[in-house]
Amino acid sequence: MDIWSDPAFDKSILGIAQAYGPYEFWTQNLQPGMNPIAAWRALLLVAAMKDRKFAPNARNLLGNDDSRVRAWACFALAHLKEDAAVEQIMALRDDISPRVRFHARRAAQVILNRPVPPGRPSLGDDPIMPEMILLSSDNSNVQTYMEVALKAKGYRLTSAATEQETMQAALLLKPLAIVTDNQKGRDNLSGLNMTWDICRIPELRETVLFMLSADYVEVAFLWGGGDCFIHKGDLVNPGKPVVDYLAG
């Protein structure tokens, strides 16, 4: 599913949001200083609604302290085709957060309808202090693919097989990113469950969350705090979209 253009994504987001009550339940959070967990979900809703009356609110959130809010503000403004925000969005290609850099560049491409180069270079290219990626999976084939793709770009890779092991490793290592599958047979918990937990831990709020799964849970994953969904059946090398995302 292409979250930038697929009407099915919009319909799914609208359905999830409505399950909590009227859309106003979320849009009232489109103000600086509001709960960021509610604000980024409100921005997903705005992107799905395509209602330009919320463009000023989304622009005001481009400078939010929470990187998820900044990232999804870029996403919403791209869906609203907000030309007036292009300069602000382009500047965010140099943001300290990989999720903001990715969304800023992609949003600029959508609004301008042309290629846009990345801003800040990938931190994984630093030979002195390579960034850590944590793989949460009990599949050895996935680990092999990821190891080849990530180490080729200078990232360090470590792994964990269960949710408990992943949480412990994440708190200890503070990784740049976590790549998780959804179904974890060893503890019968899911990547969705773990995503919900991780993005609400203050020490891990800047950790980028990827899900690599054959399960069709993309919308639930993003709504719960995830950053990038990779469907297992779509790619020969599932490590490539991780590298591409982190590069901006």
Block residue for tokens 């590298």: 243
Domain co-membership, 187 together with 89: no
What DSSP assignment string belongs to 188-208?
TEEHHHHHHHHTTSGGGTTSE
Domain co-membership, 31 together with 98: yes
Mean pLDDT, all residues of the chain: 90
| Residue 37 maps to a domain | yes
Domain co-membership, 128 together with 107: no
- Residue 236: give its domain's CATH number: 3.40.50.2300
CA angle 167, 169, 173 (to 5 degrees): 125
What is d(CA 213, CA 186) in angstroms, rounded to the nearest whole number? Answer: 16
Q: Which domain holds residue 222?
A: 123-246
pLDDT higher than threshold 90 for residue 237: no
Count of beta carbons in the 10 Å neighbourhood of residue 231: 16
Phi, psi of 169 (to 5 degrees): -65, -40
Domain co-membership, 17 together with 93: yes
| Residue 1 maps to a domain | no
Q: Count structural domains, the chain.
A: 2
pLDDT higher than threshold 50 for residue 127: no
pLDDT higher than threshold 70 for residue 121: no
| Residue 24 maps to a domain | yes
Domain co-membership, 19 together with 72: yes
What DSSP assignment string belongs to 6-42?
-HHHHHHHHHHHHHTS-THHHHTT-STTS-HHHHHHH
pLDDT of residue 233: 73
Domain co-membership, 93 together with 165: no
pLDDT of residue 223: 96
Mark which of 87, 112, 137 sits at the end of a domain: 112
